[in-house]
Structure 1
Amino acid sequence: MDLAQAQALRNPAPGRLDTAGHAPVPAPRLRNPHPLPPPHHRRPRRGGPDPMTILHLALATDWEAAQTAGEYRVSTLGRTLEQEGFIHACADHTQLQGVIHRFYRDVGQALVLLTIDPAGLDVRMETPADSTETFPHIYQPLPLHAVVSATAFPLG
């Protein structure tokens, strides 16, 4: 018996009986009764930020300079990407509030909140030595096209 004959015995053509004289039983169809829609049809989680973005608080003057330069190279207050080795970011608004409380509450300059799409960027989730939280760090200059939005961020 060759391979084609063996397959015909296991899977007879529609309407034919198997070797025991029984009609073939179709294999059960496995499917998810609640499939996820394609990614472009999904809605962001209700009540929270888009889980696919990260946040960075910038001085408005630094952000304006980036518009001219074509990329953003400031790590944090008074420190460049070259000095720090990466650009600090927050995973969500809860982390951002902690960063504001620890580092930005006395800043007297205008601030801009950058919402960043990390796709295609060298972003590493790391826990600083003086923290228990894990933060996203961007290990490259931030291209302007990765910034989904830049909105004024008043303190207080």
Structure 2
Amino acid sequence: MRTKGLFILAAAAAAALTTPAAARMGFDDNKLNFKSCEGKNLTARWRGNDFHLSVPGKTLNPASPDLKYLDWEGKCRSVHLDSKGEFAQSGEGAEASPVIKYLSWDGTKWSAMPSGNGFYAVLVGDKGAAVTPDDIKEAARWLNVNKAESRAAERLANALSPGK
């Protein structure tokens, strides 16, 4: 009985120390909720090879070939679909990566890549916290363990941790 009580106490203490990013989320969705370069909350969907942007509660705007968003450091980035249907980055300091690293509406830090007619996204970091290489590795590990049945999650995990 005493051992069981200690185990419950240890589990409760561990749960209390868990940060929101450690309680990861990853999912496939037909939309991406992000902060624009102007700091507005926008939603992106795509049809064909173009992004369709909207503000909360409003209908979709005309098609746009690129998506301008705030990255984890608050820098304006731009992404478009290349001829292979993968994200291609542009702008100052852009990485050659099919993964976008964006701020969500609540300021948390997410990574996403194309998946079918939508996006596969994973939570990487908390609002206001710097994202470390360990955070990125943990997000990839989490996808591999918790979303093993998803090919899109596997692709995102591999893109987050190249050369494992």
Superposition TM-score, scaled by structure 2 size: 0.26
Bigger relative CO (Cα 8 Å, ≥ 6 apart):
1
Specify the structure having the higher radius of gyration (Cα). Answer: 1
Superposition TM-score, scaled by structure 1 size: 0.27
More strand by proportion, 1 or 2? Answer: 2
